[in-house]
Structure 1
Amino acid sequence: MKKKLLYFLIFIPGLLLSSCEKEKLGNPPASTVADFSYTISNNGYAPCEVTFTNSSLNAGGYLWNFGNGLTSTDSNPVVIYDTPGLYTVTLTCTAENNVYYNKLVKTLVVNIKDPMAGLTQVLYFTSRNPEGGGVHLVYLTDGVPQVQDFEPVELSRPYGIAVDTAHSKVYVSDYSLGVIYRFDADGKNPVRILDYAVPGQEIVDSPEALMVAGDKLYWGRPGGIYRCNLDGTSPEVYISTEGTVPEYPIDMQYDEESGKIYLVNDRTDYTGGYFTCDFTGSGMTEVIPDIDGTAIEVDTEANKVYMAVYPVDGTAVTEGGVYICNTDGSGLAKIGDYGSKATWGMTIDQERNKLFWGYKISNSNPDGKIIRSNLDGSGQEDWLTGVSPHAMQIAWIKL
């Protein structure tokens, strides 16, 4: 018993002394911990904007390396990635305290997706023949073009075509029949989504220009620009030009970045002209008055407009052909010829910097061709012969 009491008397003072010593040491210095997260715009497809959110602790400074040759010392930087790929992003923090348990570096891999992955570049075009018309596609390669036909449908004058890349659909309008068809991107499963003979769909009569923007299909006809849902439901007047110009948009293009519509107005029965307006129709401006344009294409990267124009005395175009100008109408110049019949189709291959347009000898016999040139009109070649080409459009699309 005495031994136990002695041990207790020795142990308790030792424990108290140890506790006092720990209190004298104080709290350890705060460590620095590097950490961050990020969000990506455009669903992660290039080009996109990556916003980095810094959640590091007790850091005196930051050094970012974004894996693309750029660095930053900002706390929460925003970086634009233009090219697809895997980017190793490293955040290095400056420590507030020199302690061994600092974690000064955080690394994450950012995956910028390729918007063209799984997509095929295709030229779509319509044609006329003595029995009616057809729709076709050509895979764009550096080899000889090979034409593939869509499933046949009733056609007479297929003057309009538009491609919905988001849903892999192709739309074709027929001026004479007053109808619009929708196809799968490979030319299968045609559906007549609008027919002016159907009650409630009369506003699709005489459709020519076609375009897809967002979740709507738009077409030009006498009286302005009209639209519907992509399945043909809810057709309505979108931009009315009743009693004013342009009376009949026969071809049009939309530049999503600038929010502009570019169009040519029919001159056979109306006043003609090259026009621009905002997407809502406001600011409608006749850029080049009175010209008789039948097709239009816009190079949004170079701010250039291409038009097929018939000659009209007293206008800016007295010699028919394929013309180029700036989007504001300046610098108008002829760069090519078309055949004896109207050219209804033009399109641009941005991959190879080429312009395509139709060259017709007759309205429906396969005696025409599609001409391809450089974007300035030089280097012209007969790219595809033995066809009567009408509307055309190039797209990268999932088949």
Structure 2
Amino acid sequence: MMKYFKIYSLLVLTFLFVFTSCDDEENIPAPEAGFTLPSTTFKAREVITPTNTSENGATYQWSLGNGELIYGESPSFSYSTEGSYTLTLVVQNEAGSSKLEQAITIAGILPIASFEVENIDRLIADSDVVFNNTSEDGVTYEWDFGDGATSTDVNPVHKYAQPGIYTVTLIATNEDGASEYSQDITIRTRPDELYFMDPSDFFLRRTLLGSDVITQDLVEMPGWGVGISFNTVDGMVYITDADNIDESVNKIWRLNPDGSGLEELVTGLTEPWLIDVDGNAGYIFWTDFSTGDVKRANLDGSDVQTIATYLDGFEYPEGISVYDGNVYLNDPVLDGILKISYDGSSVEQIIPEMGGIGIGIDKTNGMIYFHDQDAGAIKRADLGGNVEEGWAINLLDAADRVYGISVDVSTGKIYWTNRDSGLIGAADLSGENVETLAGSLSSPRGLTLIKNQ
């Protein structure tokens, strides 16, 4: 009896389950697709977000009519090209599916604003920031650089006076509408700079010092730019331009550190070579490679004088550095270091048998740093010509020629140009920690340091 009761109970439960399941399916209402749009005409790239008014939906599939399917209750989308499309919504649940179609027209195309910034990780104050416009389908452009300055140029160049973080905004516009794009850029404090001449390809260049050394072209010279000196008094860079073939090129120029304002100062020269400036005394001094003369002029280029010639006890001095009323010369032919008074009345060889090309003065500690061609090294001595024993910076090759030498006491560094190895070198004033700051240069010659810190 119990056996039949169990079988009966099982049959009843099975019947109730099947009946209930069928009843639940019959009670699920069928879906009904529905949506509205703010318009049936849009522009290419315009964001479209339909309002889904469907009922009883569980899943939603949208067909854009261009082969693209997207899913979701109320997704946003856009069309990339003009044309006529059928937007279709398919709504489904367990009871079935429902479909609604809507014809739409895409006419016109919105622009896309975008831009890139050259050297974005190495932007510095008071230096050109170059913006490359990568917008699509724009006709006019409005730039806001975030510092109060604006521009309507397609690819503007802008300078920031102060370091900081700036939000740059570009609005691209055409007859169908506008697009806006913004990007933050960081402008860093201007680092110290080494300016040098590279006559092999006729450029005045600068190397920005810091954690990331950068070498930039500033000005293309007509001749073999050789010498360079920065005047801390007027903030100008003075350079020599030489050419032993085209004599019209042989001149002395000056310009702003950013490369602007190039101005002829002295013309009609023979072959002006290396140069130095005493801004407080108001003089420019330079050597002449062809004649062996040492010349002087006022800062405006007037009153050119020859203060010494090769007949005064030296041969062909090249390197020149001025300090405290004296001109210090490095003469590779005489093979020695000379000292001449500003008016040329006193000529003295203070270091014999140790000549070369480059020379620089540590004006704080009264030391001379000079290239010794026979030793293939940079050496140093006091202003009296007493060479320090045991101190030397050996060059990569004994035949390497050093043209420019600059000393930075505040950082404890010495810098030099190596013409033959094509590099700018650096070391501590102790002579240790020798390194190459910039390599693969053509033929670096004159060198000057501009302090910005």
- TM-score, length-normalised on structure 1? 0.58
Letter in 2 for 1:295: G
Indicate the residue corresponding to 2:312 in structure 1. 244
Q: What does 1:246-395 correspond to in 2, within 5 Å?
A: 246-256=314-324, 259-267=325-333, 271-311=334-374, 319-330=375-386, 331-332=388-389, 333-339=391-397, 340-361=399-420, 368-387=422-441, 388-395=443-450
Where structure 1 has 5 or more consecutive residues not aligned to the other structure, the ranges are 1-117, 197-203, 312-318, 362-366
Contact 1:295 1:343 in 2 (8 A): yes
Q: How far apart in 2 are the matches of 1:397 and 1:170?
A: 14
Q: Secondary structure at the match of 1:149?
A: strand
Q: How far apart in 2 are the matches of 1:234 and 1:303?
A: 30
1:153, distance to aligned residue in structure 2 (A): 2.2
Contact 2:199 2:226 in 1 (8 A): no
Contact 2:425 2:435 in 1 (8 A): yes
Q: Secondary structure at the match of 1:162?
A: strand
Contact 2:320 2:329 in 1 (8 A): yes
Letter in 2 for 1:208: W
1:223, distance to aligned residue in structure 2 (A): 4.9
Indicate the residue corresponding to 1:8 in structure 2. none
Larger radius of gyration: 2
Indicate the residue corresponding to 2:272 in structure 1. 207
1:120, distance to aligned residue in structure 2 (A): 6.6
- Counterpart of 1:124 (choices 195, 209, 212) is 195
- Counterpart of 1:173 (choices 213, 231, 240) is 240
Question: Percent identity among equivalent residues?
Answer: 22
Letter in 2 for 1:149: D
Where structure 2 has 5 or more consecutive residues not aligned to the other structure, the ranges are 1-188, 244-248
Q: How far apart in 1 are the matches of 2:439 and 2:258?
A: 22
Indicate the residue corresponding to 2:9 in structure 1. none
Q: What does 1:24-39 correspond to in 2, within 5 Å?
A: none
Q: How far apart in 2 are the matches of 1:302 and 1:134?
A: 33
Q: How far apart in 1 are the matches of 2:448 and 2:355?
A: 21
Contact 1:123 1:138 in 2 (8 A): yes
1:290, distance to aligned residue in structure 2 (A): 4.1
Indicate the residue corresponding to 2:205 in structure 1. 136
Q: Secondary structure at the match of 1:324?
A: strand
- Counterpart of 2:228 (choices 144, 161, 172) is 161
Is 1:185 matched with 2:257?
yes
1:397, distance to aligned residue in structure 2 (A): 6.3
1:161, distance to aligned residue in structure 2 (A): 0.8
Q: How far apart in 2 are the matches of 1:253 and 1:390?
A: 14
1:123, distance to aligned residue in structure 2 (A): 1.4
- Relative distance call for 1:261 and 1:138 in structure 2 (3 A) is same
- TM-score, length-normalised on structure 2? 0.51
More RCO (CA 8 Å, sep 6+): 1
Q: Secondary structure at the match of 1:211?
A: strand
Q: How far apart in 2 are the matches of 1:378 and 1:265?
A: 26
Please, what is the CA RMSD of the aligned residues?
2.5
Is 1:150 matched with 2:221?
no
Contact 1:150 1:186 in 2 (8 A): yes
Contact 1:149 1:187 in 2 (8 A): no
Q: How far apart in 2 are the matches of 1:165 and 1:397?
A: 11
Q: How far apart in 2 are the matches of 1:299 and 1:338?
A: 24
1:126, distance to aligned residue in structure 2 (A): 1.0
Q: Secondary structure at the match of 2:192?
A: strand
Indicate the residue corresponding to 1:234 in structure 2. 303
Q: Secondary structure at the match of 1:166?
A: coil
Letter in 1 for 2:238: Y
Contact 2:376 2:400 in 1 (8 A): no
- Relative distance call for 1:236 and 1:280 in structure 2 (3 A) is closer
Contact 1:134 1:155 in 2 (8 A): no
